[in-house]
Amino acid sequence: MSETVSSQEDTATLPCETIVHRAALRQNCIDLDMSKITSAAFIRRPGVDTDGLSVDQAFYRSADTFAATFKRCRAVVSLHIGRIRTLGLDVKRDSPPDLNNPSHASIVGIPYREDDPEEAERLASALARQSRISWQE
């Protein structure tokens, strides 16, 4: 039985060289004057981000195609999983994969702001610095 769990964990882990996209849906997630993403895009919301922060594996679809899946998307940023891991975080694909959205994955290891405000902001700011805008409205 532990072999099954281990193999499920292995298949959920994405390679370091994988690029993922994160959608910035709210106005406070992007600084239009500086053309950069803010830490607000990487703060976990209770009741919404239960498995971690949602990302999309870039090899499945382009940033503009990903942005089009939302009613209103302010920007899409790209992140490199290897760099995310340097922060002590990880990115896991859904296991089992959602057949309606096989490109979905989650950045795991970020605490909720309510549980650890300093660490949540430190990690969110670091992810914002690592991210690059791939698409903007």
> How is the chain split into domains, by residue range?
2-136
Q: Write down the pLDDT at residue 33.
A: 78
pLDDT digits (tens, 9 = 90+) for 36-63: 999 999 999 999 999 999 999 999 999 9
| Phi, psi at 119, each rounded to 5° | -70, -40
Separation CA 10–CA 8 (nearest Å):
5
pLDDT digits (tens, 9 = 90+) for 11-38: 578 999 999 999 999 999 998 777 899 9
Three-state SS sequence of 16-42: CCCEEEEEECCHHHEECCCCEECHHHH
Average pLDDT score over the chain: 89
Give the pairing type, strands 30-31 and 75-80. unpaired
Supply angle C-alpha 39, 68, 102, rounded to 5. 85
Q: Which of 52, 32, 65 is nearest to 133 (CA)?
A: 32
**pLDDT exceeds 70 at position 4:** no
The mean-pLDDT minimum among 37-41, 56-60, 93-97, 131-135 falls in 93-97
Higher confidence at residue 50 or residue 95? 50
Beta-bridge partners for 113: none
pTM above 0.95, yes or no: no
